[in-house]
Chains A and B, each alone.
Chain A
Amino acid sequence: MMLASKEITKMFGRKTAVDHVTLEMEPGHIYAMLGPNGSGKTTWMKMAAGLIKPTSGEMTFEGRPVDIESRKQIAYMSTEPYFYTWMTARDVGKYYGDFFADYSADRYRALLERMELNETLKTRELSSGMMAKLKIAVTLARDARVYMLDEPFNGIDLLARDVIRACILESAAENKLLLLSSHLVEEMEAIADRAAYLKNGVLVECTDLEEMREQRGLSMADRYREIYSHSEGANA
Chain B
Amino acid sequence: MKNLMKYEWRKTMALKLILLGITAAAEIAYLIGVFRHDENWAAISAGILTLLAFGGVMVIGLNSVVTLHRDMNTRQGYMLFMTPNSCYKILGAKVIENGLSMLATGAFFFGLGALDIMLLFAKFSTVGELWRFLEDFIHSINNEIQINAFGMACFFLNLLTGWFSVVIMAYLADVISAALLNGKKYNGLLSFVLFLALTIGLRVLENLAVSALVPQGTGINTVYLVRSAVTLVFSAGMYVCTAQIMERKLSV
Contact = CB atoms under 8 A, between A and B. Distances in A.
B79 A53 contact: no
Nearest to A91: B10
Given A50-B81, A71-B83, A78-B78, 16 more contacts: A51-B81, A51-B252, A52-B252, A53-B249, A68-B86, A69-B84, A71-B84, A81-B75, A82-B75, A82-B77, A82-B79, A84-B76, A99-B3, A99-B83, A99-B84, A100-B83
A135 B84 CA distance: 18
Interface in A32-74: 46, 49-53, 68-69, 71-72
Contact of A68 (B77, B78, B85): B85
Q: Which of B248, B250, B251 has the most CB of A within 10 A?
A: B251
A82 B75 CA distance: 5
B180 to A, nearest CB: 11
A49 B81 CA distance: 9
14 contacts: A49-B82, A51-B78, A51-B251, A53-B249, A53-B251, A68-B86, A69-B84, A78-B78, A82-B75, A82-B77, A82-B79, A84-B11, A85-B76, A98-B3
Given A78-B75, A82-B79, A12 B183 contact: yes
Contact of B82 (A13, A76, A80): A76
Interface in B1-60: 3, 6-7, 10-11, 14
Interface residues of A, number: 25
Interface of B: 3, 6-7, 10-11, 14, 75-79, 81-86, 183-184, 248-252
A50 B86 CA distance: 11
B162 to A, nearest CB: 31
A83 interface: yes
B187 to A, nearest CB: 11
A86 B10 contact: yes
Nearest to B74: A82
User: In terms of DSSP, what is the predominant structure of the interface of chain A?
Assistant: loop
B84 A72 contact: yes
Nearest to A52: B251
Nearest to B6: A98
B134 to A, nearest CB: 41
Contact of B76 (A52, A76, A82): A82
A169 to B, nearest CB: 24
A113 to B, nearest CB: 24
A84 B3 contact: no
Q: Which of B7, B75, B81, B84 has the most CB of A within 10 A?
A: B84
Nearest to B79: A82
A82 B7 contact: no
Contacts of B86: 68
A12 B183 CA distance: 8
B250 A53 contact: yes
A95 B78 contact: no
A117 B79 CA distance: 21
A80 B97 CA distance: 28
A51 B81 CA distance: 6
A118 B64 CA distance: 32
Contacts of B76: 82-85
Nearest to B10: A86
A8 B251 CA distance: 15
Interface string A201-219: 0000000000000000000
Contacts of B248: 53
B79 A95 contact: yes
Contacts of B85: 68, 99
Contacts of A13: 183-184
A-B CB proximity, top 4 nearest? A52-B251, A82-B78, A99-B83, A71-B84
Contacts of B11: 84
B190 to A, nearest CB: 15
Given A12-B183, A80-B75, A95-B7, A51 B82 contact: yes
A75 B14 CA distance: 30
Contacts of A95: 7, 79
Contacts of B183: 12-13
Contacts of B10: 84, 86
A12 B10 CA distance: 33
B3 A71 contact: no
